[in-house]
Amino acid sequence: MTLSDIPTGGKCMIVKVHGHGGFRHRILELGFVRGEVVCVLKNAPLRDPVEYEIMGTHVSLRHSEAAKIDVVSLSEEAHPDIDKDYHGTIEEHVRHEVEQLSKEITVALVGNPNCGKTSLFNYATGMREKVGNYSGVTVDSKIGTFYHRGYSIHLVDLPGTYSLTEYSPEELYVRDFLDNHELDVVLNIVNAANLERNLYLTTQLIDRNQPMVMALNMYDELQASGDRLDHEALGKLLGFPIVPVIARTGWGIDNVLEAVVQVYEGTATEMICHNPAHQHQHGPAVTHHIHINYGREMMAAIDEVKDLIKLNDDMRDVIHPRYLAIKLIEHDRTTMRMFEHCNNYSDIIAAADHYKEVFEKEYDEDITSVVSDLRYGFIRGALGETFTPAKHQQKTEMGYALDKVLTNRWLGFPILFCFMFLMFEVTFVLGAYPQEWIETGIAALGDLLREQMAPGMLTDLLVDGVLSGMGAVLVFVPQILLLFMFISVLEDTGYMARAAFIMDKLMHRMGLHGKSFIPYIIGFGCSVPAVLAARTLENPRDRILTIVTVPFVSCSARLPVYLLLVAAFFPHHQAVILLGIYLIGLAIAILTSLLLSRLRFKQQDNPFVMELPPYRIPTLRNTLIHTWDKAKEWLQRVSTIVLLASVIIWALGYFPHHENSTLATDNTETNTVAAESQQLENSYLGRFGKAIEPAFRPMGLEWRAGISLIAGCAAKEVIASSMAVLYGIDRYDDDNQETLATRLTTVTDADGNRLFTPLAAFCMMLFVLLYFPCISTLATIRKEIGRGWMWFSLLYSTTIAWLLATAVFQIGMLI
């Protein structure tokens, strides 16, 4: 609740004053501080401004200004939960509530990509968000709450951004968040090993004039390089505390949190931690706002535009006018749209346009370059006074030494290909051992259930429905874990960015951007974060093409189906076949991008600009945490969607149930199998499967495979579980240790013909690879690029899947 919400005659107690600059100081000087009681006296004849009484004096504020003051009402109606036996006054009760509310601090983490924001966020909050050594890991804001020195701190991890311009979704998202959320402190994370570039964003945050603390992350790398930084002196120059931190180990984070609390309380303490073993604090230093020196001419231009902005109280009190003036002179379209409702809009734009032309003519550069050069001039001046580089720079050579081999002109592609092949080979070889143990355990559990439970529908449901369906997917958990572990290593080492570097020229010729390869690699794990990772692409064309084609990259949900069919029909060439399937998906994605580039989008030569971070050795802790978190998410889907789908498919295949089948009277294995087959064909599921069978016959699949594919619409993991239920593993012999893989190689039709052949199995893998994404991915596509592209993805991918699978099967039959 804000002061503007209190009706005439009402009373309230102040919790917090927002705003900045002169407005905030003026309000505080008038007595609007925490814990003070305010009485609303009356509105002006035109309802604005409003007269208030505070500290025995009368003060008038506009509604827009009162809306910047958080309060708690003192009316009894606003506190119906007060105990009737409570003997204190309403004011005493509210004062206690105000004290509690004032102990909440909202902190925004802002920094460049790959500066360690999420590592600090994870350590401080205890959460396990994704951390990677490449840009674009955080694609949305994440909020974690923890407690420090009696305060409840809400930490918001924002996407990494190099600046607060409007060139990418991340930049606009961060700007919008800073503009429209009441933040108590901005925590600027800076990579100590790359100060000059990281401080560019800092200068923009300084212009916004928000309470700020800087966490100087990767401080160990700065020290190891031989460089020296007087962060105390730099903090005094910039006007806020600078605290050395090593986020991945947690060193210095407590000092950062202490600085955040002190800035929130109105003071700051400089932390001097030259040695991790000797952390101590120095005396207090009050934070102060500075104006970045852009030179005499630019400063005069900023002041003139700022004075015009100040005539609009609603704009002046929300965002600092100086920051807005700079953005207007830069011709920032988002900022210009903010002033369209202002009475002096034409004057503001005219002044901004005038100075834009003046500076572009004077410097012979576009205005963005002019302002950037002036910002870097200030940064170099500040570092010139506080930073001493090492005499012999070794950090760059050490951090990028592997590039001589891994991104070599001749070795780059073979190494990348070998790494991908190794990933699939290890997935099969190492994953096979625990897979056999899980299969044995599931079979033993099925036997135990049949022995201990009476024959009937409940036993059939548990064994044939739940256990068969879930077991068919759970046996592939080891392979899934290994795949996720490989992807995690790619992210943490920095090789993910090198893969994009290696692939850029090829992907550019195919209509895609080299950075699209990062979402593609992420897509090996799950298509949803892969679609979200496409936000790192600045150009809308590249973003749409990447999002539409990413689902062709085979995600982990499809992997159980591949592993099942490859193990059954291609036991001697498992890694080759699986790698081939993945490469086909990439080829279709590239061809689709090329087609859309020619037919839908004008070919544009978009620049390839991407940071190549130094290589880092991944920690075992992070790798295991990331692997488990991804696997846990996958298992949660198995325990919900797959379980539900397995039960539904079993029920549709069980009813209507015929107990007195003539074939079942002779209790031989052959007749029992025939009876079960007859029951399934006459069930609701069998009738539906027969109806849709003509659509799948051209690609060599019979109706049970077709139903499994239809069931996979919700989640691709359901396909394997559906096949286990439909092909009746453990349905007819308690002593039968047959797995689904061996069952598929032996199942026949009424004439004794095998229903599954290697060719049909390969065609099914092709269809699973290409047909439309799961519901979660489709919903994400709709959110990112619109409903039209979602329907295009659904219809186009399914058409391509059916045509290719049918063509391969028909040609294969002819051969």
pLDDT, average across residues 295-312: 90
The larger pLDDT score, comparing residue 658 to residue 588, is at 588
pLDDT, average across residues 451-478: 83
Name the band, by pLDDT with cuts 50, 70 and 90, for residue 399. low
Name the band, by pLDDT with cuts 50, 70 and 90, for residue 80. confident
pLDDT for residue 87: 60
Tell me the pLDDT tens digit for each residue of 214-227.
999 999 888 888 88
Name the band, by pLDDT with cuts 50, 70 and 90, for residue 666. low
pLDDT for residue 771: 92
pLDDT, average across residues 456-477: 81
Tell me the pLDDT tens digit for each residue of 367-382.
989 999 999 999 999 9
State the DSSP H helix or E strand holding residue 157, giving kind and residue range, or none if neither: strand 151-157
Name the band, by pLDDT with cuts 50, 70 and 90, for residue 797. very high
The larger pLDDT score, comparing residue 659 to residue 156, is at 156
The larger pLDDT score, comparing residue 424 to residue 219, is at 219
The larger pLDDT score, comparing residue 144 to residue 386, is at 386
Name the band, by pLDDT with cuts 50, 70 and 90, for residue 69. confident
pLDDT for residue 809: 95
pLDDT for residue 409: 84
- Mean model confidence pLDDT for the chain: 81
Cα R_g (the chain), whole angstroms:
32
Strand ranges in 230-277 using DSSP code E only, listed in sequence order: 242-244, 269-275
Name the band, by pLDDT with cuts 50, 70 and 90, for residue 551. very high
The C-alpha atoms of residue 240 and residue 221 are separated, in whole angstroms, by 23
The C-alpha atoms of residue 651 and residue 663 are separated, in whole angstroms, by 22
Instruction: Name residue 188's amino acid.
Output: N
pLDDT for residue 286: 52
The C-alpha atoms of residue 134 and residue 519 are separated, in whole angstroms, by 11
pLDDT for residue 172: 82
Name the band, by pLDDT with cuts 50, 70 and 90, for residue 137. low
In which residue are the tokens 């092949």 written? 421
In which residue are the tokens 């401004």 written? 49
H, E, C per residue of 330-366: CCCHHHHHHCCCCCCHHHHHHHHHHHHHHHHHHHCCC
Closest by Cα among 600, 609, 583 to 520: 583
**Which tokens in the block code for residue 270?**
């400089």
The C-alpha atoms of residue 224 and residue 748 are separated, in whole angstroms, by 68
pLDDT for residue 769: 94
| Least confident span in 55-64, 119-128, 272-281, 383-392 | 272-281
pLDDT for residue 133: 47
pLDDT, average across residues 480-501: 80
Q: Which of the listed ranges 17-21, 187-191, 406-410 does the model predict with the highest average pLDDT?
A: 187-191
Report whether pLDDT(562) > 50: yes
Q: Which of the listed ranges 102-106, 264-268, 457-461 does the model predict with the highest average pLDDT?
A: 457-461
Report whether pLDDT(275) > 50: no
Tell me the pLDDT tens digit for each residue of 329-346.
998 888 888 888 888 889
Report whether pLDDT(398) > 60: no
Q: What percent of the chain has pLDDT over 90?
A: 23
The C-alpha atoms of residue 586 and residue 191 are separated, in whole angstroms, by 35
The C-alpha atoms of residue 439 and residue 473 are separated, in whole angstroms, by 10
611-624 as b/e: b if 16+ CB within 10 A: ebbbbeebeeebbe
Name the band, by pLDDT with cuts 50, 70 and 90, for residue 107. very high
Residue 263, class by beta-carbon neighbours within 10 Å (0-12 exposed, 13-18 middle, 19+ buried)?
Answer: buried
In which residue are the tokens 């009484």 written? 53
Contact 402, 427 (CB under 8 A): no
pLDDT, average across residues 27-55: 87
Contact 51, 3 (CB under 8 A): no
Report residue 764: phi and psi, to 5°.
-65, -40
| Least confident span in 64-78, 184-198, 246-260 | 64-78
Q: Which of the listed ranges 124-133, 445-454, 523-532, 600-609 does the model predict with the highest average pLDDT?
A: 445-454
* Polymer length in residues for the chain: 815
The larger pLDDT score, comparing residue 663 to residue 53, is at 53
Query: Half-sphere exposure (CA, 13 Å, Cβ side) for 39?
Result: 9
The larger pLDDT score, comparing residue 572 to residue 59, is at 59
Contact 351, 336 (CB under 8 A): no
Report whether pLDDT(198) > 80: yes
In which residue are the tokens 């390969």 written? 762
The C-alpha atoms of residue 626 and residue 479 are separated, in whole angstroms, by 15
469-492 as b/e: b if 16+ CB within 10 A: bbbbbbbbbbbbbbbbbbbbbbbb
The C-alpha atoms of residue 265 and residue 257 are separated, in whole angstroms, by 12
Report whether pLDDT(617) > 50: yes
pLDDT, average across residues 268-282: 41
Report whether pLDDT(568) > 50: yes
pLDDT for residue 671: 57
DSSP category for residue 268: -
Start-to-end Cα distance in the chain? 76
How far CA 651 is from CA of 29, 263, 571, 655, in Å, comes to: 73, 62, 33, 6
